[in-house]
Structure 1
């Protein structure tokens, strides 16, 4: 086991010069799950490129991850190669340069990992995932932002939020995109029909804040004749949808995008959502709500149409406009593709991500023991306050 330095900045400087205990950085990503999701894909895309930069990656989970669980992602090909998959029990005697919480629930397990520094990769303000009446749970999630560990985020609004509410100087790095998969030159499942609008709805059907049923209802109200659904939910057919595609591996998702003209993504909460950007790369446009993070790349009436959050009638109006104005659709598509061409790929982004994580690690002001005390106390308090509820928080 490596010796622990009192001065984190000194430790990282030594590693950068190749004079530390190890010549290679050892990163640990704490994962709550590995099912299909945009946030999980972001972490996997980063991890796949870290090895090329001289970084060893270990994914840590409660239960052992089997290879077939990640068959939806390119990381499947590197499962037993350059990336390690271990449980918390299996890393008890290991030591990492940095341990990274990737979701609020994993924050409360950071103390279980031996590391020189602790950081938090924040992809959204996750208390917003839960209904407003779940006050105790939302407060419990927000508690994870209090300790002064280093933070990296993918959205400007999150950086500003954490600075204003928790005094965090978070590192900001835009997500990249896999341009090998997402481009306008590959195959499509079915050719687009000139003059006939084909709409894609994307997202899990059973997560309220993703609002997939609302998007489908808007298409029905606008009398859209050709509606496709791309979902990670276990459904084969869905009401008022012409075609349903579920749990596709990521290398096949672009075939769906290239077949459709517009993606209607009406989430109520996002960090920096990826599907509209992926759609841009594949030659389509988007209709979205003006939620936090949309302005990272979406511009109203330039590459997309943006409605106020919850304004279903405005979405219906936009759909009717696109249906009746093929020239408008084409203009938005052209501009969306120009936006996509300027967006960085993962190879460019991961270099910035490494530097951001190094900076975040140097900002960590909390020890493993302090994290343990904070986590145990906060979890215990929450569970005592909610003993009457079934299932608790896990």
Structure 2
């Protein structure tokens, strides 16, 4: 097999939900830029164009961007179309491709309540079709696809940009005698447990707390010495470099990136045992791990790190070595190799199957539009959606 750089250029599209600031989108953009750098014709497609198409938060963003409504009306033939979220899985069948793929970064069923009419049913449907090739960043997701759905999933781990995240980064404020703790995450997303992190930090004396809010939400009762909202990726490094410990207590993740970025800047972490934490975290070796929603355990872990400088320094040193083994420059080519492997053995997607997905997607959108207006039509839409899903 010829080396990847010597193969003919492929035409590749990543479909993302919208133009937003998110860790998952950063990973997508990282892969897109690498594929472009080795000669592929790459495009980002926003399913929702309401937030514009200019990406300003990702460093040196240079991949062409278009909107789904534009692409659906064009006769473009792609070698690979890659969905990046369950709704974009349905959207991607508007496009023509030799290979359809799903870059899955979490078990997205967890974002919804269970129930007969839960979107989780539509999410799970995206896990069941072996004609759609799957790439994931987490071994636990790879096992889920293979064990629960009989679908092959390629593994392409995440990384950290060591050219940006490293101990020599200039801090916003030098570390002082008080231990400085970073709380990071979108304050308006319940499963990120930002409120829990603040309850924990409020109970640990003699610390200084900084907060980086990805979505700009910061409740008035959250006690932080400094608050940063909707921070660009390149502006995150001084915040990490200014802090000693990150507290990340999520209950839903694929593989979270902020602790690894903190590791690269010389700090350590208190994290929950959320799915994917063990991709790079070892309890007592490079961080402290507590059970999900265990406030008492998190308070105890943070208190130990704050009071025991030797423990904090030992974990931070090991954390830095961990980060150096997760360099994006080594990780990104793995995604490209997995993608090339799937594209070299495409599985045809019949037009009838594509149309069924698109019809199910249309009914999903219609259900959302009429759900509060007409109970009779609502029942008809739900019935037809279940018929299509069951027939595939």
- Seen in structure 2, the aligned counterparts of structure 1 residues 232 and 306 have a Cα distance that, compared at 3 Å, is same
- Seen in structure 2, the aligned counterparts of structure 1 residues 75 and 32 have a Cα distance that, compared at 3 Å, is farther
TM-score between both structures, scaled by the size of structure 1? 0.87
Q: Which moved more, 1:360-369 or 1:172-181?
A: 360-369
- The structural deviation recorded for 1:358 is 1.8
Answer yes or no: is the 8 Å Cα contact 1:231–1:246 preserved in 2.
Answer: yes
Answer yes or no: is the 8 Å Cα contact 1:237–1:244 preserved in 2.
Answer: no
Kindly tell me the number of residue pairs found equivalent between the two proteins.
370
Of 72, 79, 96, the match for 2:78: 96
Answer yes or no: is the 8 Å Cα contact 1:31–1:102 preserved in 2.
Answer: yes
- Seen in structure 2, the aligned counterparts of structure 1 residues 174 and 115 have a Cα distance that, compared at 3 Å, is same
Partner of 1:324: 307
Answer yes or no: is the 8 Å Cα contact 1:263–1:287 preserved in 2.
Answer: yes
- What value does the CA root-mean-square deviation take over the aligned residues? 2.6
User: Residue 74 of structure 1: SS of its match in structure 2?
Assistant: coil
The answer on 1:42 being equivalent to 2:22 is: no
Partner of 1:127: 109
Answer yes or no: is the 8 Å Cα contact 2:186–2:217 preserved in 1.
Answer: no
Distance 2:116 2:203 in 1: 32
The answer on 1:29 being equivalent to 2:14 is: yes
Answer yes or no: is the 8 Å Cα contact 2:187–2:218 preserved in 1.
Answer: no
Answer yes or no: is the 8 Å Cα contact 1:236–1:245 preserved in 2.
Answer: no
User: Residue 176 of structure 1: SS of its match in structure 2?
Assistant: coil
Distance 2:116 2:226 in 1: 35
- Seen in structure 2, the aligned counterparts of structure 1 residues 32 and 49 have a Cα distance that, compared at 3 Å, is same
Distance 2:365 2:35 in 1: 38
- Seen in structure 2, the aligned counterparts of structure 1 residues 320 and 123 have a Cα distance that, compared at 3 Å, is same
- The structural deviation recorded for 1:183 is 0.8
> Structure 1, residues 330-353: CA drift from partner, whole Å, max 9, x if none?
1111111111122232x3222211
Distance 1:312 1:170 in 2: 35
Distance 1:166 1:383 in 2: 26
The answer on 1:74 being equivalent to 2:56 is: no
- Seen in structure 2, the aligned counterparts of structure 1 residues 286 and 266 have a Cα distance that, compared at 3 Å, is same
Answer yes or no: is the 8 Å Cα contact 1:110–1:371 preserved in 2.
Answer: no
Partner of 2:244: 261
Answer yes or no: is the 8 Å Cα contact 1:199–1:261 preserved in 2.
Answer: yes
Distance 2:240 2:77 in 1: 43
Structure possessing the higher relative contact order (Cα contacts under 8 Å, 6 or more residues apart): 1
Partner of 1:240: 223
User: Residue 118 of structure 2: SS of its match in structure 1?
Assistant: helix
Distance 1:227 1:129 in 2: 28
- Seen in structure 2, the aligned counterparts of structure 1 residues 246 and 374 have a Cα distance that, compared at 3 Å, is same
- Seen in structure 2, the aligned counterparts of structure 1 residues 224 and 128 have a Cα distance that, compared at 3 Å, is farther
- Seen in structure 2, the aligned counterparts of structure 1 residues 293 and 388 have a Cα distance that, compared at 3 Å, is same
| Aligned pairs (5 A) from 1:260-279 | 260-279=243-262
Partner of 2:41: 56
Distance 1:344 1:275 in 2: 14
User: Residue 241 of structure 1: SS of its match in structure 2?
Assistant: coil
Unaligned 5+ segments in structure 2 are 383-392
Partner of 1:300: 283
Answer yes or no: is the 8 Å Cα contact 2:187–2:216 preserved in 1.
Answer: no
Distance 2:345 2:126 in 1: 16
Of 332, 335, 338, the match for 2:321: 338
> Structure 1, residues 159-201: CA drift from partner, whole Å, max 9, x if none?
000111111111001112211111111100111124x221101
The answer on 1:350 being equivalent to 2:332 is: yes
- The structural deviation recorded for 1:366 is 4.6
Partner of 1:182: 165
Distance 1:293 1:163 in 2: 17
Q: Which moved more, 1:370-379 or 1:105-114?
A: 370-379
Partner of 1:7: none
Distance 1:286 1:390 in 2: 44
User: Residue 317 of structure 2: SS of its match in structure 1?
Assistant: helix
Partner of 1:230: 212
The answer on 1:312 being equivalent to 2:292 is: no
